[in-house]
Structure 1
Amino acid sequence: MKAILKRENFPSKNIEINISGSKSESNRMLILQAQFPSISIENLSESDDTKVLQEGLKTTKGIVDVHHAGTAMRFLTAYFAAKDGAEIILTGSQRMQERPIGILVDALKSLGAEIEYLKNEDFPPLKIIGKSLQKSEVKIEANVSSQYISALMLVAPMLPKGLKISLEGKTTSIPYIEMTLSLLKSIGIKGSFSNNEISIASVEKIEKTSLVIESDWSSASYFYSLVALSGEKKNFEIALSSFSKDSLQGDAALVQIYDSLGVRTVFDASNRTISLSKKNTELPDSLILDLSNTPDLAQTIAVTCFGLGISCKLTGLHTLKIKETDRLLALKNELEKLGATIQVDESSLNLEKSSKINSNITIETYQDHRMAMAFAPLSLKTNLTINNAEVVSKSYPNFWNDIQKTGVGLELMNFDV
């Protein structure tokens, strides 16, 4: 499916958009709910990743295919390994079979897990025989993906003695580890994180409790970009719900980052709505950010800066090499089509200032949902076509409908021409 985008009736008035629950919070809570059925969850994410995880958790014997869902692969690897009696072959798409999981598997094996690689060493698919893991201490490299660490934290309550996790090296995406710890504590599980050491207590039973998932800040980022690129539009606001000023999500850093890019955020505490509007402010010549705690924002920020004609240097992006695609290379390829001068290496991106944007460019998504959504707001500056537009369903199935509400001209074509 192609998305053909044009700046036609933008902006619409009184735009209100409801974004579903955070994928990150939803997936963590589903693993905990599988262990403790007394937990009920409201405002669950509508993403494909969350649906895949839900389906996978219904199975204890057989094949579980997570398709492109990296979080599901990592969380289910730990869950099934610690689930006594489970007999699972855990697999995914061709790209998923190219994404490493050896660090997590090694950590689980050191706890006594029975996991076998069915094709290539360190990569899915995996054969997992679940058992009660009796050991209570593990070491793991901390500088690749925080999801490995969160996967261990989430199954720690299943272990008879709980779990102490020693982190080796610089920890990546600390807010996501803190999110996991906060969610554990919110249902009454004791835990701590200090001096590169995480401790989670064993728990047999959780009292009946209901949790409301906050909406997804990563999904909100595309509307921040849209407002930033909207020009000087008076009385133009986008209202997004349901968001908290005291968010557990690291991507709430959007508020400060986009404030410097001309977007004002106003919180309405009574109904947990945020209103985004354009500020009358002078933009910086360059934006320099360390995104090691918020790497999922990199694509959106880079495209916004290009559209605003300012340079940016983004660092802390080493995890983007092992996502749905090599996101750094994908960004370079597509921004260069639009006229950008950009350099990338293993962990950073350097975009030069540019005043020209090429028109009528077709953007490839590389089966990566964030590529499609990050480039869509640039349609306020130039006409775009985005290939494989359906990929947004991985995290934000209603994205194109919500973009259309803002007045951006949109035509979805269900065939290639």
Structure 2
Amino acid sequence: MNLLLQTTHSTLDAAIKITGSKSETNRLLLLQALFPNVTLSNTSNSDDSEVMQKALQGNEEIVDIHHAGTAMRFLTAYFAVNEGREVVLTGSKRMTERPIKVLVEALEQLGAKISYEKEAGYPPIRITGKKITASKVTIAANVSSQYISALLLIAPKLENGLELTLEGEITSVPYIKMTLALLNELDIETSFKGNVITVYPKQEVASKVMIVESDWSSASYFFSLVAMSENAIISLNSYTETSLQGDSALVEIYKQMGVETHFMGNKMTLVKQLDFKSATLNLELNNTPDIAQTIVVTCLGLGIGCHLNGLHTLKIKETDRLEALRIELTKLGANIVVTNDSLTLLASDKINPNIKIATYNDHRMAMAFAPLALKVPIIIENAEVVSKSYPDFWEDMKKLGYNVSEIL
């Protein structure tokens, strides 16, 4: 499905309801599988979370998680400790190209039984669940935080808990802290001192309802819209000023692009700061790589430059996001340079109209480029890919006055 996006005005006024964070939901779904007396509320309606839930509740030998990277990492750890069950964990063609070796080796250090069905280091993998008594493991600190969180989430069910040593400089710290905070909410004891994380064993937890905060990554597109608008007030539900999600850094980042953020109760309101002049952005995004696409497209729309660092994990996402950004932004007329871990966009007020944006089976490519329709008509190819994290995205764009029409 290819969608033509255009709008006749750049004044925005709407209230949008975004479902729960995919990151929090998937962590809590795994914890609920380990501790069935935990109840969840405001869970994500994303494809990734539905795939994760289906895998945890099913009993098939072959578990196909399609494009869901988080599910691949979390379920690898979950099935490794699910005694007596053997599964083959697989996914889409792109998923079989995304490395899993670091996590598999860490689980094998603990005594897990995992083998590769095809290419070593990549899915599909065969996992034979068993009781694990070892409690110490070392992993590189600069790998995807999902590997680290996968180990931490199963840790309370290990007979002796887990002492996880991270070697080197730690990236994506907020996601690690989110995982530990969710464990703490279930009264599971943890500590994070220097480069050592400890999770203490706990076989049972008290019954509890866990309410998932709405997704900050999904909110990023509305920050982008407000920044590019002439005048805007957009309110978003179920957000708090003290969030577990690293992408809440959006508040401070977009302040530099003329977006004011106000909190009242559980509602967040984004307001365009009139007559604000944005300057070139220099940002370190080690802790928040998922919002890099949104930020660079916003800068293009505002006619400002940016230099974004700490993006090495983007190369192993749904696509190589750095290369995808370089190709698509160049089509729009941008002057952009990418390296293995950075992106530099030069300031320009030129944006080519009616460009077809390829999405590379990557939900964030579709949504990050959509706000540009405030500036020029734009075509999003394979627009249905947004269902991976935000199925209602195009309907919410219509609420903001977007003309969204399907074309060949």
Q: TM-score range by the shorter chain?
A: over 0.9
Matches of 2:59 and 2:122 in 1, distance apart?
Answer: 21
Distance change in 2, residues 1:8/1:282 (3 Å): closer
Does residue 367 of structure 1 match 2:361? yes
Contiguous gaps of at least 5 residues in structure 1: none
Where does residue 265 of structure 1 map in the other structure?
Answer: 261
- 1:32-62: CA deviations, max 9, x gaps? 0000011000000000000000011013450
Provide the TM-score with structure 2 as the length reference: 0.99
Matches of 1:12 and 1:379 in 2, distance apart?
Answer: 13
- 1:60-96: CA deviations, max 9, x gaps? 4501000000000000000000111121000000000
Aligned pairs (5 A) from 1:10-409: 10-11=10-11, 13=13, 15-231=14-230, 233=231, 236-269=232-265, 272-409=266-403
Q: Secondary structure at the match of 2:62?
A: strand
Instruction: Tell whether the 8 Å contact from 2:12 to 2:229 is kept in structure 1 after alignment.
Output: no
Per the TM alignment, residue 281 of structure 1 is displaced from its structure 2 partner at its CA by 4.7
Instruction: Tell whether the 8 Å contact from 1:61 to 1:86 is kept in structure 2 after alignment.
Output: no
Matches of 1:142 and 1:68 in 2, distance apart?
Answer: 24
**Aligned length, in residue pairs:** 408
Q: Secondary structure at the match of 2:61?
A: strand
Per the TM alignment, residue 142 of structure 1 is displaced from its structure 2 partner at its CA by 1.5
Could you tell me which amino acid in structure 2 is paired with residue 383 of structure 1? P
Per the TM alignment, residue 197 of structure 1 is displaced from its structure 2 partner at its CA by 0.5
- 1:237-290: CA deviations, max 9, x gaps? 111001011100000000000011001111012xx0011110025333310000
Matches of 1:352 and 1:10 in 2, distance apart?
Answer: 24
Instruction: Tell whether the 8 Å contact from 1:265 to 1:275 is kept in structure 2 after alignment.
Output: yes
Q: Secondary structure at the match of 1:57?
A: helix
Matches of 1:79 and 1:90 in 2, distance apart?
Answer: 11
Per the TM alignment, residue 8 of structure 1 is displaced from its structure 2 partner at its CA by 2.5
Pick which of 277-286 and 80-89 moved more: 277-286
Could you tell me which amino acid in structure 1 is paired with residue 234 of structure 2? I
Matches of 2:279 and 2:72 in 1, distance apart?
Answer: 41
Instruction: Tell whether the 8 Å contact from 1:167 to 1:196 is kept in structure 2 after alignment.
Output: yes
Matches of 1:349 and 1:10 in 2, distance apart?
Answer: 28
- 1:81-137: CA deviations, max 9, x gaps? 011112100000000000000000000001000000000010000000000111000
Aligned identity (percent) is 55
Could you tell me which amino acid in structure 1 is paired with residue 41 of structure 2? E
Per the TM alignment, residue 154 of structure 1 is displaced from its structure 2 partner at its CA by 0.1
Could you tell me which amino acid in structure 1 is paired with residue 209 of structure 2? S
Q: Secondary structure at the match of 1:171?
A: coil
Q: Secondary structure at the match of 2:96?
A: helix
Where does residue 8 of structure 1 map in the other structure?
Answer: 8
Matches of 2:199 and 2:324 in 1, distance apart?
Answer: 38
Instruction: Tell whether the 8 Å contact from 2:300 to 2:348 is kept in structure 1 after alignment.
Output: yes
Contiguous gaps of at least 5 residues in structure 2: none
Matches of 1:171 and 1:101 in 2, distance apart?
Answer: 18
- 1:181-212: CA deviations, max 9, x gaps? 00000011000111110000111111110010
Matches of 2:215 and 2:284 in 1, distance apart?
Answer: 21
Instruction: Tell whether the 8 Å contact from 2:12 to 2:226 is kept in structure 1 after alignment.
Output: no
Instruction: Tell whether the 8 Å contact from 1:239 to 1:276 is kept in structure 2 after alignment.
Output: yes
Per the TM alignment, residue 12 of structure 1 is displaced from its structure 2 partner at its CA by 5.1
Could you tell me which amino acid in structure 1 is paired with residue 349 of structure 2? S
Provide the TM-score with structure 1 as the length reference: 0.96
Could you tell me which amino acid in structure 2 is paired with residue 64 of structure 1? V
Matches of 2:88 and 2:268 in 1, distance apart?
Answer: 43
Matches of 1:397 and 1:408 in 2, distance apart?
Answer: 17
Instruction: Tell whether the 8 Å contact from 2:305 to 2:345 is kept in structure 1 after alignment.
Output: yes
Q: Secondary structure at the match of 1:289?
A: strand
Could you tell me which amino acid in structure 2 is paired with residue 310 of structure 1? I
Q: Secondary structure at the match of 2:131?
A: coil
Q: Give the CA RMSD over aligned residues.
A: 1.0
Matches of 2:131 and 2:288 in 1, distance apart?
Answer: 34
Q: Where do 4+ consecutive residues of structure 1 move more than 2 Å?
A: 8-13, 280-285
Matches of 2:358 and 2:60 in 1, distance apart?
Answer: 38
Could you tell me which amino acid in structure 2 is paired with residue 130 of structure 1? G
Q: Secondary structure at the match of 1:193?
A: strand
